[in-house]
Amino acid sequence: MLIAFLFNLFFIQIIFTTITSITYSCWTNSTCGCSLNSAILTKIIGGEEATMNSWGWAVSIRRRNNHICGGSLISSELILTAAHCLVSVKTLSSLSVTAGSNYLSIINQQRSVSEIFIHQNYDSMTYINDIAIIRLSSSFDMSDRSLAIICLPPSLLEYPSNDTTVIAIGWGVLSPTEKISSDTLQQVTLKIVANTISICYVLIHNENGQICAGVQGGGKDTCQGDSGGPLMMFSNKKWYIVGITSYGDGCALPLSPGVYTRVSIHYV
């Protein structure tokens, strides 16, 4: 009887694990879009802590050593981020970028900034063309396997397609009432919302250059401090950056998805 009970309990645990978590196994020979460890995401309400070294392209952009925005490694010396993170920067010496750690408080590699390139048509009122590139003063050491480069998407207008599952990551606040960024990298699973649906249409200002992502009923979203970080899609066993965290109306509210810069049609 006890053996039967334990077997049933074990079987239930297997089913529960299968239903509530997804492991994204990467093509390890890829030159981009694969980190040291596979990403594991659970189907829970809200975000969750990211698996260690599963998002090797995630970087923290810092101003006077304080985290201000996220970004993504697209080469050993180039960071893709949001324009609104950088428009107020007066001196490059105040900026630095850290990589290779899930924790803001633990610095693995850190570099100063030599140049910033903000999209020439960025509009600070509408956040249209909210995209920028940072060039580092020296390359990150990519022999450190905790670092990786994310893949850029194809240049297609409708990419990603509506209802695609996407992942957002960042060190932003864990609730809109908080003011301090999370020390631990967080991840959340979202869905692309069609820009023709009213909850997205009322938020965006350019249906080609901006996309919405969220979940029905709210509860999952990016928030302050996540700006500039990647919105990612898993395809062909590797990760592509399809969006850049831009803005939203509050955080994780019902009927209010987040707005992201569509990467596939932008050239900085």
Give the active site residue among 130, 182, 221, 226: 130
182 catalytic per annotation? no
Distance CA 230, CA 210 (A): 14
* Dist CA 235 CA 219 (whole Å): 25
Q: Decide if 141 is catalytic.
A: no
Give the active site residue among 35, 60, 84, 246: 84
Residue of 181, 227, 246, 264 with catalytic role: 227
Q: CA–CA separation, 174 vs 232, rounded Å? A: 20
Are the CB atoms for 53 and 102 separated by under 8 Å?
A: yes
Q: Which are the catalytic amino acids?
A: 84, 130, 227
